[in-house]
Amino acid sequence: MKIMLDILLTPIKAMRLRYVPLLLIYFAYGSSFFTAIAESFWVKDSLNMTAADLAELGIWLSVPWTVKMIFGSLVDSVLVFGSNRKSYVYIGALLITVSSLLMIAVVGDYEFVVQFSKKSVYIVASVIAVIGFVMQDVVADTMSTEVVGKSQTEAQIHQELATIQVLARLSLGFAIFITGWIGGELASVFKDNREMVFIIALFIPILSIIGVTLVNLNPVAVSPINKRVLFGGLIFALFVVLIGYSEVPYSQEIVFVISISIVLYLLNDLIGDLSENAIRHIKMAMIIIFVYRAMPSVGVSLQWWQIDVLGFDESFFAKLSAIGGGIALAGMWFSAKFIVKRDIAEVLIFLTIIGTLLSLPILGMYYDLHIWLGVEARTVALVDTALASPFNYIAQVLMLTLVAIYAPEGKKGTWFALMASLMNIALSAGGLLTKYLNKIFIVSREIVTDGVVTTTQDYSQLGDLLWIVTLAGFIIPIIVIVKYNPSKA
């Protein structure tokens, strides 16, 4: 009983008043899930985009996360209105507001956007929102090292950094839990008037503004501009825009190869003055992080199948969101002490095994196993979501803890940004694999244009896609984690 009570109270005991405004910014980021269900149903009903098209769009939307080094360098070195922290959060809030207004206009069929295609406005709004959240995320990650008490030993500082990352994920998880659930229920209520969900979502930038206005940070000197990182990043960003706009063949593959080359070069340069042993450990950790995040997913076709075949609606997806977010929050809460104390690679192996086991019920439902067992599909989905939800968040905390521990003084913004870029390039790799798999195993939902069926519903190849994704997500990470465990180097 005493042990359970100690585990329960760990996050509460770790909480400090100075963390609260920072955690509010993370909460605002988690609140971005508020519109997720309404957006998914609107895209399915209103945009003529295949699963591969949406996977491809997801890759392009990951690019701003990939060039986080630009924002990191700015945060380290460039003052805007006398600040190299708070002003960037305000700018991010403005961009998120503009994105919300565009979504309100396109979802509500407002007159001034009629001259543009819905797809184009949706893509522009999505890009603007991503840039706003990236900017705020860079600043929040940087500030997470600047609310730490300095009168401590190095080991205590490392443990507090890990604690802050846990609390940040708890704040994020609570936001996903409460806003994802409420947003999903509102998507059901306003299914014939979906722009109302996006109007209500204007509360999100307000939260981040309140948080950054109240946050109190340790004084940090402005570092000289790292011209190689800043201007190299700007040139790369311009290159990405040009190659994407010109629709060059294999443009996403070209961007991926160049982006990972640039980020690895910049990271190698940034850690060049560390000891050889430290560099070796960091590189091994980087390999594990990259591979773990680069695994492909099934893509949006799984959700289409759940809607069309299993009959899941907005309200049920809201319940899944609430259960997933709530259980993830509880799992993160009770595992806080475990996360800080255990070997990271061993925990990632455990999470890989558990994640694979918990993907099997969805695979079984495709083959009607739930019907043979006399269990409703919604019951299987609810139980599976409840069991699986904590583990993704735990993996994120482990990775962010590694990043925080090795953050070099005076270069923290750039370090966090480059490592986040590497992690998001890994997601781009996973997105490319997802796109390829969706082009090999073609899955389609019914699309009706002007009363005529232009694309027929076909989920016959979804089972093969599920098998490939499940096996790859189990075998590859286990091999890499065992081989490159930095704790055993």
| Tally of structural domains, the chain | 1
Residue from 61, 186, 62, 169 nearest 389 by CA = 169
Q: Encode pLDDT of 35-80 as tens digits.
A: 988 998 888 888 888 888 888 888 788 878 777 777 877 887 878 8
CB-based contact 233:73 (threshold 8 Å): yes
The yes-or-no verdict on residue 3 having pLDDT over 50 is no
pLDDT of residue 335: 58
**Torsion angle, alpha carbons of 296, 297, 300, 306, to 10:** 160
- List CB contacts of 158: < 8 A, sequence separation 6 or more: 405
Q: Which of 170-184, 187-201, 343-357, 434-448 has the lowest mean pLDDT?
A: 343-357
CB-based contact 57:49 (threshold 8 Å): yes
pLDDT of residue 196: 93
Give, for 453, the enclosing helix (H) or strand (E): strand 452-455
The mean pLDDT of 347-351, rounded to a whole number, is 76
For 160-192, the DSSP string reads: HHHHHHHHHHHHHHHHHHHHHHHHHHHHHHTTT
Residue from 60, 52, 469, 50 nearest 256 by CA = 60
Apex 349 CA angle, 345 and 351, nearest 5: 110
pLDDT of residue 4: 44
Give, for 287, the enclosing helix (H) or strand (E): helix 276-293
Give, for 447, the enclosing helix (H) or strand (E): strand 447-449
pLDDT band at 132 (very low <50, low <70, confident <90, very high): very high
351: domain CATH number?
A: 1.20.1250.20
CB-based contact 455:97 (threshold 8 Å): no
Rg of the chain (C-alpha set): 22
Rounded CA-CA distance 459/308 in Å is 10
Three-state SS at 365: helix
The end-to-end CA distance of the chain, in Å, is 38
pLDDT of residue 95: 95
Rounded CA-CA distance 115/259 in Å is 35
Bridging pattern class, strands 452-455 and 447-449: antiparallel
pLDDT of residue 206: 93
**How does the average pLDDT of the chain come out, rounded?**
79
pLDDT of residue 7: 46
pLDDT of residue 201: 93
CB-based contact 178:28 (threshold 8 Å): no
CB-based contact 212:90 (threshold 8 Å): yes
Residue position matching structure tokens 């960003």: 237
The yes-or-no verdict on residue 315 having pLDDT over 60 is yes
Q: Which of 205-209, 245-249, 394-398, 472-476 has the lowest mean pLDDT?
A: 394-398
The yes-or-no verdict on residue 96 having pLDDT over 80 is yes
The yes-or-no verdict on residue 393 having pLDDT over 70 is no
pLDDT of residue 33: 85
Question: How many Cβ atoms are within 10 Å of 432's Cβ, its own excluded?
Answer: 19
- Give the torsion sign (CA, 44, 47, 50, 52): negative
Question: How many Cβ atoms are within 10 Å of 374's Cβ, its own excluded?
Answer: 6
Could you give the percent of the chain with pLDDT greater than 90?
11
Give the type of residue at 338: F
* CA 316 from centroid of its chain's CA atoms: 22
Q: Encode pLDDT of 216-258 as tens digits.
A: 776 666 777 777 777 777 887 788 778 776 777 788 888 888 8
CB-based contact 95:32 (threshold 8 Å): no
Give the residues across from 241 on adjacent strands. Answer: none
**Torsion angle, alpha carbons of 128, 130, 131, 136, to 10:** 130
Question: How many Cβ atoms are within 10 Å of 271's Cβ, its own excluded?
Answer: 19
Phi-psi domain of 374 (left: phi exceeds 0; alpha: psi -120 through 50; beta: other) = left
The yes-or-no verdict on residue 99 having pLDDT over 90 is yes
Give the residues across from 453 on adjacent strands. Answer: 448
* CA 107 from centroid of its chain's CA atoms: 24
Q: Encode pLDDT of 133-159 as tens digits.
A: 988 888 888 887 777 767 666 666 667
Q: Domain limits at 462?
A: 2-488
CA atoms within 13 Å, Cβ hemisphere of 3? 2
pLDDT band at 126 (very low <50, low <70, confident <90, very high): very high
The mean pLDDT of 1-15, rounded to a whole number, is 54
Question: How many Cβ atoms are within 10 Å of 96's Cβ, its own excluded?
Answer: 27
Rounded CA-CA distance 75/227 in Å is 13
* CA 428 from centroid of its chain's CA atoms: 12
The yes-or-no verdict on residue 390 having pLDDT over 60 is no
The mean pLDDT of 76-93, rounded to a whole number, is 84
Give, for 454, the enclosing helix (H) or strand (E): strand 452-455
The larger pLDDT score, comparing residue 114 to residue 2, is at 114
- List CB contacts of 4: < 8 A, sequence separation 6 or more: none
Give the type of residue at 67: V
Q: Is the pTM of this model over 0.75?
A: no
pLDDT of residue 471: 92
The mean pLDDT of 413-417, rounded to a whole number, is 68
The yes-or-no verdict on residue 271 having pLDDT over 90 is no
The yes-or-no verdict on residue 110 having pLDDT over 50 is yes
Rounded CA-CA distance 430/474 in Å is 14
CB-based contact 332:173 (threshold 8 Å): yes
The mean pLDDT of 358-382, rounded to a whole number, is 81
